[in-house]
Each structure stands twice: as C-alpha cells, then as structure tokens.
Amino acid sequence: MREQFRLENHGVRKIERLPGNVGLIELTLIPELAEGGATLAAALQLMQHTHALIFDLRPTRGGSPDGVAFLASYLFPDGDIHLSDILDGPQGTPRQFWTTPYLPGPRYLDRPAYVLTSAATFSGGEALAYDLQAHARATIIGESTRGGAHPSQVVSLAEHIELRLPIARTISPITGSNWEGVGVQPDLPTAAAAALDVAYRTALETIAENNHLPDQSRLEARQQLGHWRSPTPSSQPGR
C-alpha cells in the first residue's frame, strides 16, 4: 500500500497557479503524515502567495486522519482547533485530532478556500471537506459525497467474498455527528464536472472586488473574468 501511495506522489496529482493568482491542488488520496507529510507541505508551500486556494477532492478516495488534520492546519492560525474525534468500538476512548501548532511552512490565512467534491469523494477526502465546512473555513462546491465516516476493516470470508466491518466512528465536536451514509452536503451544489469552473469564477470575483489586494492582481482577475464572457478552450480550467 505504501509503495502504491509513493507511486501516486502521495496523492498529489496536480499543483497549478491559475490566471488571477488562484491556487489549485488536486488530490487522489490523503497520505499518512509519516509517509507523505513532506509532499503535502511542498504542495502548500507552492501555493503560499496565491490569493485564493482550491482543493480538488473530486477524485479523493480516502486518507489518513493525521494527514487530514495536517492539511487542515494550514488554513487555521494555530493549534487550538479541535477537528474531530474517532471512537473505537461502542465505548472506546476517543482519539482526538487537532490542528498542529507547528507547520514546516507558512499558513494559508485570511484568504478564501474552496473544496470540490463529487459522488466519488470518500473517507479521508470527506473528512477534510467536512472539517473545513464545520468550521466555516472553506466553501464546498460540487456533489454530495459518498458517505463513509466509519473506519473499517476488511475480513476475508471466502476466496471471492469479503466483509467490510466498521470498527470505529468519527464525531465532529462542532456538529456532534458525521457524514456516514449521507455524505458531505455542498454549500454550492453543482455537477462534479462543473465544480472547478464554479469555484474558479467565484474566486476570481472575490479577488477582483478585494480593494486590499494589489491593483495588478485585481486587474488580472478582471481580465480572466472578461475572457469567461467570450470563452475559449484555454480560458476554461475545467476543460
């Protein structure tokens, strides 16, 4: 499994600066911190000077709780944010996950963040979206996610039969619940294929109207929005 994750660049499929100074990070999974933390940190380091950030979790099929907490930590100012608890068994002692007080790079603060979701977004991808939404730190755009909040084990019953057995449950200290069976519900529902376009345009509009940003940044955002009114294949990031 670790070799597979390594070959997938620990889940980081794409890092891009879109015109208008909008950052984009696409993840296929969220790795364990011990294995993939440096890769996640490098991705965030490259985004540090953007004016808005988009996490594309549409293809994210799972991840590790400590990797989720590490990523979320970049969007909060300190280590005092209680993100989630995982309870093992019916009466298990909760494992708490908080933002970390130390990060190997600058935090991404006071700028808008967007999370793209699809019906395929699962487990760790859902956890990141849910935590950021619960703390009102990101806007979720796309489809309701797959709905897997309970860590499980796979038990082999026969040569071609296996049982996936839930062994724990995730609880948000904000909502007192989780997304099991219902998925993470987007703030801006849209088809997954259109989610990047919606997020990108929303980010550009926010940048263009922000008088605290440099004139050049606002001009670039307005120019990109102008291209959108006369779209070409090169001006639409979702294609």
Distance CA 75, CA 30 (A): 16
**Predicted TM-score (pTM) of this structure:** 0.90
Pairing of strands 152-158, 161-166: antiparallel
pLDDT by residue for the chain (239 residues), tens digit each? 677 778 889 999 999 999 999 999 999 999 999 999 999 999 999 999 999 999 999 999 998 999 999 999 999 999 899 999 998 877 778 899 999 999 999 999 999 999 999 999 999 999 999 999 999 999 999 999 999 998 777 778 887 888 777 778 899 999 999 999 999 999 999 999 999 999 999 999 999 999 999 999 999 999 999 987 655 444 456 54
CATH architecture label of 2-82+100-148+177-235: Alpha-Beta Complex (3.90)
CA angle (228, 232, 235) in 5-degree steps: 55
Every domain of the chain and the residues it spans: 2-82+100-148+177-235
